[in-house]
Amino acid sequence: MNRKECIFLIRLDKFISERTEFSRSELKALAKKGKISVDGTVVRSADAKIDPEKQSVTVCGKTVRAEKFRYILLNKPQGYVCSTDEKDGETVIGLVPPELRTKNLFPAGRLDKDSLGALLITDDGALAHRMLSPSNHISKIYIVKLANGFKSEYINKFKNGLMLSNGEQCLPARLRPVENCDKLVFTELFEGKYHQIKRMFAAVGDHVEVLMRISLGGLVLPDKLGIGECMELLHKDVESLFQKTDFDDFCSRFSVDFSAFHINK
């Protein structure tokens, strides 16, 4: 084996631990028990070297994916916190099925405990930093249920950039009422201040009863993804986060039936 080929080799335990919830000590024990295979052959040494691009690894009969990072879209239910610390309450990480979990998963961005909808969960810190950076101005679109009902005057107030009760200035945001429902309104933000949408509507004298995020950039919450369910994303899906969204076109095409059912129930 020449030096160029060695560059692509990685320790077996390192490869598996980066892609699962197993620790290296656990993997060492599993290897001794014959629970780890490479290309169908049992490997009893966890520090064996493998080529992740060419070889297939299984642990306890389950294949370990080759990709280093995991990207999961969750349709967040109410009552869960966007945290990795269980001291904060039931976390969104607990909603991820065991087969999709890695030890370093975290929510990229936040939704309030009582909010619903699209939330990205990943173990890719660089992607999360890129996504949350103010310089990228990723569009986030929500369906909001208001207590008092939508008023046309809200549109210009949001467009001009509202000042919150504590003096914080918000970036311009866009609104569009949902057809045939005076209490539902699409809301587009490009930032994420604490409880921002609730505080913005409070600033115009209204109250948010329910809030559901339906898109992150060009990544749209699928109708078939039920509340509390999640799906693994492909890399091309993740890149859609950074696609620009035509707000008016989005609102014209988006079916609110699925989302409105959960908001109004």
Determine which one of 112, 123, 124, 206 is catalytic.
112
Element (H, E) at 13: helix 12-17
- Asked if 39 is an active-site residue, the reply is no
Contact present, 216 and 138 (Cβ < 8 Å): yes
Cα angle value 232/235/236 (rounded, 5°)? 110
* Residue 86: Cβ-neighbour burial (10 angstroms; 0-12, 13-18, 19+): exposed
Tell me the C-alpha distance between 120 and 213, whole Å. 11
- Conformation bin of residue 39: beta by default, left when phi > 0, alpha when psi is -120 to 50: left
Q: Are 13 and 24 in contact (CB under 8 A)?
A: yes
Tell me if 55 sits within 8 A of 90, measured CB to CB: no
Distance of alpha carbon 121 from alpha carbon 232, whole angstroms: 9
Pairing type for strands 116-122 and 208-216 reads parallel
- Residues belonging to the active site: 112
